Amino acid sequence: MFDTRPDREAEVALVGRSNVGKSTLMREITGHSFDTGGKPGVTREPNHFDWTAEDFVVTDLPGFGFMSGVDEDRREQIKTDIVRYLEEYADNVLVGILVVDGKSVIDIIDRHSGPDEIPYDVEMFHFLRDLDIPTVVAVNKMDKVDDRDERLNELCDRLGLLPPWKQWQETIAPITAKKGRIEPLNEAVRTHLHEQNRDDLFKFF
């Protein structure tokens, strides 16, 4: 179980597969680098960035899904730990940010959609919402995507949101974290913070 969490009332949590750019996004949000290592699955414990004065923490949870060189038991354990963490702190998490790779997410979802399989990303999206955590999907690496609107509409379709994506701007946020282009995400996060009377946290987003 992840037990490194600072005792804070309010939290924003980042979840997503390995290698989708969560740590880069975390750096953009917090202004601080975290030791991510070059290999997928290196972030094994949550990275917490703590603002004590605001009683607020931003958490980057370890990547889930396939990781080269990581055996299946370990992968399943990480996923279980993430699920337990989110269940335990659901009341504290003001916004859950599911980070996906805009370039590959549709292929990954479709590849893992057997009759009995729900792809991790889709499962995590609905899991967060089932916990009543306001959820934003940060669709990262959009600078590498040509057919932007089409791709985002397809993602909505896979997540069970009726396209066009533009009617879901508090849920779908196309970004390029590496280039610092995360304004759609900030706006979506602020919408959810405002609904929970936490405008005091806007300065972080």
pLDDT of 1 reads 56
pLDDT of 115 reads 67
User: Are residues 20 and 14 in contact, defined by beta-carbon separation less than 8 angstroms?
Assistant: no
pLDDT of 44 reads 73
pLDDT of 36 reads 55
Q: What is the C-alpha separation between 13 and 4, in angstroms, rounded? A: 14
Which CATH number is 10-197's, of 1.10.1060.10, 3.40.50.300, 3.30.420.40, 1.25.40.10? 3.40.50.300
pLDDT of 35 reads 62
pLDDT of 4 reads 84
Question: Could you tell me the mean pLDDT of each successive run of 10 residues in the chain, 205 residues long?
Answer: 86 94 93 65 78 93 82 88 96 98 94 75 96 98 96 97 97 97 98 96 94
Q: Is the dihedral of CA 2, 101, 28, 34 positive or negative?
A: positive
User: Are residues 170 and 188 in contact, defined by beta-carbon separation less than 8 angstroms?
Assistant: yes
Give the residue extent of every domain in the chain. 10-197
pLDDT of 105 reads 95
